[in-house]
Structure 1
């Protein structure tokens, strides 16, 4: 498959525009940050992952990683739970929880431990992961994010008690969520959001524990998901509101986070299985942003470096918020030859 290369290469400049000394701001109106909506842990965890994956090749990435990590550490409570929402006046405005923000924070901490070249950052994130691993979530996706972080930690410390316990609990959670039946293999009644996270976590846990059955299940489930989220020669991903058995494609609005999850999962599957098919799936994800999608429109602003917030049946949501920009950049990071550093 040919990747449709953009005319311009962008780097991380829109992330820098969206980030101040406290963290990355959640929403934007076009390319301009909306300060009144404040910050969230979900996006700062994503920022940490993207920044440390950059390997300090971009001049802004090291500072962005430090800002994001400090936000996550400040959000964490002693029992391991996490605040998610902070006002622009720097006040937490929610109760700490083990929702997705908890899982994403552990994913960020674990990724920083293995990917950052900043020794101080690695140490602080290692310690924060240990605190976060003291608790658990009832949410499948939150636990899957945490499992990704645990899989990173055991690469550096194979005997880490908290990480090993999280991986073992992951095996049990997947057993509690069996695949569906017939032509609906998914372990839930409907596809929701960041769906490819679930098979990716199966692959990560399976690889970490040398659990061949979980690797096989994750690979098969990801194959099924790609078929379900494709239409012709392009991705046609699950819209806001989800997708169930028999729903007509395409559905809207489509969110960049779904495409980014597919790219991450395909990269994991490629590394674990060595199957070249998964490189083609990464190309599908990249090309979705470059216009090979259900509407035929580019989902990034090549002038600002931002990612658009959603794909609608009549066009593009031109706002360039944190989640969408981070989803676009994290997808492009899997094709570094076409990305500005």
Structure 2
């Protein structure tokens, strides 16, 4: 990290308004529009400007389709973007091998289809579009292609967790969908069950990134398959993960590069994908159990973006609608790539949902 890649070490007076007043902004799609064209969504940015030469990836286009489909009343411009993102995923999908991931600005694929983590995100996006797509024809096409993607399997825990979240979307609309139920069931052994060691119940020896998606997938599998043991495992793992990531009442998530037993906390460079994954997982845990304590996990995730984090630095750029790419001990990465901004949007969507929950449900 050079000095040119850093911003000021303290937030501006305007940014401190978020932290001092508790004001949560509405989700902004301005930077999503800036980062998109008629092909897909660019992966990287220099500041808020797209780095076109880095091209596109299925990981980010899938995330973009998910956040647009989560909007309850998307504008015509957002519906058009959803069409673009869905078309990109259809082009990336190989029914026998999985998904391509990386496309250059020349619109040529630079890899072969596989069932890596991008396959999982692609299936997640197709499942979300099948359940919540803004038009009937999008829902129909997405459901068909979800079925194709759900026939495949991966040995990668994160890939299966992401795919299972897409299956949960389909199961929510059609609980008897065979493809969704099969994918949810097969995700459980790949993700792994909780270990008996209370100091380290996590199925893997280290935390990696977006790990909250793994217990969220177990919670979803337990819910839709009627398996109470799997549901309990998911809830217990999420509870341990959230406890591990809480420091002085705020979220202190796993840094880039991961974290293992005995390593110091907090760790930096923290990335926005982490609080976004916690927000999703805690929201699901609340909806499945009705336990209000999970709402605090959603709130901490939202507040991480507003500046209630280890560095007391807000991560939102009010001028662009984008999110900074990473949080250091006394700095933030000024670049506003796709992953970070989409993590912000998805978390603010949950903040909007959280604000609509009756105050009585937030007490206790």
TM-score grouping bracket, smaller chain normalisation: over 0.9
Q: Distance in 2 between matches of 1:13 and 1:72?
A: 22
Q: Among residues 286, 297, 300, which one is paired with 2:313 in the alignment?
A: 297
Distance 1:180 1:32, change over 3 A: farther
Deviations 1:12-59 (A, max 9, x none): 011001000000000001010000000000001100110000123445
Q: Is the 8 A contact 1:11 1:58 kept in 2?
A: no
Q: Distance in 2 between matches of 1:315 and 1:177?
A: 37
Q: Among residues 99, 115, 123, which one is paired with 1:98 in the alignment?
A: 115
**Which structure 2 residue ranges, 5 or more long, are not aligned?**
1-19, 356-364
Q: Detail structure 1 runs of 4+ shifted over 4 Å in the superposition.
A: none
Does residue 113 (structure 1) correspond to residue 130 (structure 2)? The answer is yes
Q: Is the 8 A contact 2:273 2:343 kept in 1?
A: yes
Q: Is the 8 A contact 2:58 2:122 kept in 1?
A: yes
Q: Distance in 2 between matches of 1:78 and 1:111?
A: 19
Q: Among residues 326, 329, 342, which one is paired with 1:310 in the alignment?
A: 326
Q: Among residues 146, 156, 164, which one is paired with 2:181 in the alignment?
A: 164
TM-score, normalised with respect to structure 2: 0.89
Q: Is the 8 A contact 2:55 2:104 kept in 1?
A: yes
Q: Among residues 75, 92, 100, which one is paired with 1:83 in the alignment?
A: 100
Does residue 20 (structure 1) correspond to residue 37 (structure 2)? The answer is yes
SS, match of residue 134 in structure 1: coil
Root-mean-square deviation (Å): 1.7
Query: Higher mean Cα deviation, 150-159 or 316-325?
Result: 150-159
The correspondence of residues 1-341 of structure 1 with structure 2, limited to 5 A, is 4-6=22-24, 9=26, 11-174=28-191, 176-179=192-195, 181-336=197-352
Q: Distance in 1 between matches of 2:117 and 2:182?
A: 19
Query: Higher mean Cα deviation, 164-173 or 128-137?
Result: 164-173
Deviations 1:281-328 (A, max 9, x none): 111000000000011000010110001100011211010000000001
Between the two proteins, the alignment pairs up a number of residues equal to 336
Q: Distance in 1 between matches of 2:73 and 2:141?
A: 18
Q: Is the 8 A contact 1:150 1:166 kept in 2?
A: yes
Q: Distance in 1 between matches of 2:170 and 2:276?
A: 22
